[in-house]
Structure 1
Amino acid sequence: MKLIETIKHYAQTQPDALAFVNDDKTLSYSELWSQSERLASRLQKETVGDRSPIIVYGHMQPEMAVSFLACVKAGHPYVPVDVSIPADRVMKIIKSSKAELLLNNSGTDLDTGDALISVIKPEHLDAGEQLETNPDNWVKDGETFYIIYTSGSTGNPKGVQISADNLQSFANWVTEDFPVENGHVFLNQAPFSFDLSVMDLYPCLQAGGTLWTVTKDMINRPKILFEALKQSNVNVWTSTPSFAQMCLMDPSFSEELLPGLRVFMFCGETLPASVARQLKERFPKARVFNTYGPTEATVAVTSIEVTDDILERYSSLPVGSAKPDTDIVIVNEDGEPVQEGEKGEIIITGKSVSKGYLGEKELTEKVFFSYNGEAAYRTGDAGYKENGLLFFQGRLDFQIKLHGYRIELEEIEYQINRSKYVQSAVVIPFYREEKIEYLIAMIVPAEHDFEKEYQLTSAIKKDLGSTLPAYMIPRKFVYQKEIPMTANGKIDRKRLKEEVTI
């Protein structure tokens, strides 16, 4: 695989160049290569060679990159799981993936319960004899490179399989079509369990750059974040628009803080024109790119540079045109292509499209298919084309993007309704300036002994905390006697949405 061969090339030609920076921890290209070789050799001894997935657990440690590379060198796809994921969800991922091995980079013990899984702590490996892995064993071509678990409507996460070919196509696109240069420092804001992280990790390594990571502690303490950013020398900024919007709240977030910043790349949620405009004002030497794509099509498949002309012409920004080996088709309810300017479902075809969900044949067949001889994916996203540009208009179903995370509202509702304090519940997104700001839980409570609503809310949130990541727990809880219904007996979500926006 070109990507792995390129990393090896950098390990030989620029061995001391930094590949990874996390707080005070660094990893050079030679260290990344040698440590991943050593770990890959160990993995080949621990596994039976059936190319089963390997769970990689941790946060932003350099060992995460080592583990990813070691897994694919040993011929196994990896499943990134961040420490912020609740234990119950981790167990579901372990069982769904049928992984037999877990690499624990967190620095803490992880209770895997009754799961039949071996746990290895990579930092405990000896630096003894150096072995070279056989490239014939590396993950390649259509074989699965990584599996990212996304929200599922039944309460169970689903694993999206991304092949080596899918990833190589994406990495080539970013390094060839965007103004990134060899040796650039890439910002990594997203946890590795979120596919936005792929946008910086692999293009960075393919370009011989340095990945500079933002930890959750930095995000929680902006003062520390900005002190670190000042020393980062970041050239390429990849994040959700929400993270950049948070940074813009501080007047010091400007070219003076990051004089080398040249590229902003956004994905994961809608980029408001106001955010793009502020970034262009504060970073006049940087170029801003808006992109779009679901996890099932390898991070992103469209892009556009947000120029002054684009800002003048569009109040809602387009997400651009498709990458060279990919096509975007807008279809109606009958699956027929629509006319330009007409709204419909976004269909993605081409080399970026995943092979489907791991172990979920019915779910895969529902949304993955062949279109004109190409692999295709029904996104469930609404959009239209105008002058060759794609415009994203939200979800056709109950799936949303919140702060870059893709969330099934039905999964949250499923978990809330499991609480003994809840009779029924509906989750409604609250919009501000065309972007989802937070989630509201509309609840008909069951009988309880709490005197105050905040006590009830605290109890329900405690239940949710054991099954859902923090970003999926609604910010606001509203209690009422009944949930409004439509004439055909369905929940009147339109009415609820109108009520919460008044």
Structure 2
Amino acid sequence: MMKNVLELLEHTAGRIPNKIAAIDEHGSMSFAELLRATRAAGSYLASGRELFNKPVPVLTEKSINSLVAFFAVLYAGGYYVPMDTEQPFSSAEVRISILKPSIIICDRDRAEQAKRLLPNGDVIIIEEILDTPMNSALLSDIRSKKIDTDPVYTNFTSGSTGTPKGVVIAHRSVIEFIDEFTQIFGIDETDTLANQAPLDFDVSVKDIYSCLKTGATILLIPRRLFSAPVQLLDFICEHEVTNMTWAVSALCLISTFHGLDYKTPNKLKRVLYSGEIMPKKHLDAWMTALPDTVFVNLYGPTEITCNCCYHIIDRNRQYDNGIPIGKAFPNERIYLLSKDGEIITEPDVTGEICVSGSSVGLGYFCDFAKSDEVFIQNPANSAYHERIYKTGDLGYYNADGEIFFKGRADFQIKYMGHRLELQGLERQIEEIGSVFSCCCVFDEQAPKLFAYYTGEEEEKELRIKLRDKLPAWMIPSKIRRLPSFPLTKNGKIDRAALLLLGKRRKNDKG
């Protein structure tokens, strides 16, 4: 039985040593070379340091060396914490203050930043330890003490409060999820996986470990290309990408600017998307351009190891009621809980989406109070201890038992005396012909409801059409067209930035 994700790398390097494991804009590395480099760097980290089950932040630009650093930390007995290289220094300081690490790994370009973050710690530059003599005996001794419930990584997520929480995920969770994920979607060593997500975002976990599991190649796309759709498509087509597991907003970037009219990545076997609801017009544009490609709607928060639900798009289905998040992955179970903690089984009744199974994370790093709020005892089980995770997302079953996402519990607002779901309003606005995408935000203090959208529809015309479509109380106070949406570093629409934009416009007029 596999207990450690490093076994994925070791098995594949033994089976196809010369196969290319990873490509970045600077070069490539085979599985054998990746294994050799990580064991060498791991030997350096393990020598004279006590890193067993300790967090190790990694501050590197997305590159092959990032992967080497991650796996080296695992060989040394610790678990890695990817750090966003573009976040404000104060945000990085907060994360370091939570972790209290003894060392930090960085690349040469970020050595000074790393020293500022950890002035009294050990700053290790990854490029300088790749040729360390391998200490196989030391690495074997460390491995013999590891178990499958030990942490493999921590990713920080801010949640609705803005306070960062470090989600701790175990080896077993990654191993079991990736095994099912690659089998269901048929990923194998002939695939090239285009990595869009930042490495501190858990979407990248699917790319990284699918490659280690199957022998596929991971293509690490430079972040700068996501502001240049033409160059991005050139890069994807040049490398004959066969798989894209991307954030919705990244796909919409290409379709908004009609990139698929310029060039079609026709080697794509599958496109899997998550993070937000995919606007139907954008999905239709992709599916029209790629008639033989499989499209999959994924759902799942960071706390449950990547995803817990999936739905393979049926090209012959109309999806008049929206696209479901589908059904649970094997070895995971989905519950809908009422506000009273009762299990919902009947169709069309909204409840909070909760998840149990081996994918559920270990909790939040050094935050037992917050962990206890959302990692709870299954209220349907009074016989033995069974942890489930409360996602804070709302959903419902249709008559066929499929699960539909209905938005965040904290996206429900009270407006004009009525209860309103912001994401439901967004979908209704997107149904209007020339609107591509919509995002609604609510200023509770004002109170004002703002609708931002991309598309060709004029603002005045859109308001007229909304008057014919919606009750008066449901029409946003302010409607504004944007050339594109501001995005978070994880590729989701930045609702906080849109809310701030609405408040600024109000103050400017006041």
**Fold agreement, TM-score > 0.5:** yes
Look up the match of 1:161: 168
Look up the match of 2:126: 122
Give the number of equivalent residue pairs. Answer: 431
1:242-261 alignment, distance < 5 Å: 242-253=249-260, 257-261=264-268
Q: Could you say what secondary structure the match of 2:10 adopts?
A: helix
Corresponding position: 1:94 with 2:92? no
Cα 1:217–1:479 change in 2 (3 A) is closer
Look up the match of 1:236: 243
Cα 1:180–1:34 change in 2 (3 A) is same
Asked if the contact 1:189/1:197 (under 8 Å) is kept, the reply is yes
Look up the match of 2:503: 478
CA shift for structure 1 position 438: 7.5
Look up the match of 1:487: none
CA distance in 1, matches of 2:131, 2:412: 46
Scaled by the length of structure 2, the TM-score of the pair is 0.78
Asked if the contact 2:377/2:388 (under 8 Å) is kept, the reply is yes
Gaps of 5+ in 1: 401-427, 445-464, 483-502
CA distance in 1, matches of 2:506, 2:241: 52
CA distance in 2, matches of 1:267, 1:303: 9
Scaled by the length of structure 1, the TM-score of the pair is 0.79
Cα 1:38–1:302 change in 2 (3 A) is same
**CA distances 1:281-330 after superposition (whole Å, capped 9, x unpaired):** 111111000010010111111011111233x1434110110011111111
Look up the match of 1:211: 218
Asked if the contact 1:443/1:480 (under 8 Å) is kept, the reply is no
1:62-461 alignment, distance < 5 Å: 62-105=64-107, 107-108=109-110, 109-110=112-113, 111-113=115-117, 116-125=120-129, 127-132=131-136, 133-134=139-140, 136-137=143-144, 139-253=146-260, 257-310=264-317, 312-338=318-344, 339-371=346-378, 372=381, 373-386=385-398, 387-397=400-410, 431=426, 433=430, 437=439
Q: Could you say what secondary structure the match of 1:112 adopts?
A: helix
Q: Could you say what secondary structure the match of 1:280 adopts?
A: helix
CA distance in 2, matches of 1:472, 1:199: 26
Asked if the contact 1:3/1:168 (under 8 Å) is kept, the reply is yes
Look up the match of 1:425: none
Cα 1:271–1:91 change in 2 (3 A) is same
CA shift for structure 1 position 272: 2.3
Look up the match of 2:464: none
CA shift for structure 1 position 433: 2.8
Asked if the contact 1:61/1:105 (under 8 Å) is kept, the reply is no
Cα 1:441–1:20 change in 2 (3 A) is farther
Look up the match of 1:414: none
Gaps of 5+ in 2: 414-421, 432-436, 447-487
Cα 1:145–1:113 change in 2 (3 A) is closer
CA distance in 2, matches of 1:159, 1:479: 32
Asked if the contact 1:254/1:283 (under 8 Å) is kept, the reply is no
Cα 1:159–1:337 change in 2 (3 A) is same
After TM superposition, the structure 1 stretch with the greater mean CA deviation from structure 2, 67-76 or 121-130, is: 121-130
Asked if the contact 1:20/1:212 (under 8 Å) is kept, the reply is yes
**CA distances 1:180-235 after superposition (whole Å, capped 9, x unpaired):** 22231001001011111112111122110111122121112223222212211111
CA distance in 2, matches of 1:167, 1:91: 28
Asked if the contact 2:260/2:286 (under 8 Å) is kept, the reply is no
Asked if the contact 2:230/2:262 (under 8 Å) is kept, the reply is no
Letter in 2 for 1:72: L
CA shift for structure 1 position 364: 0.6
CA distance in 1, matches of 2:326, 2:392: 18
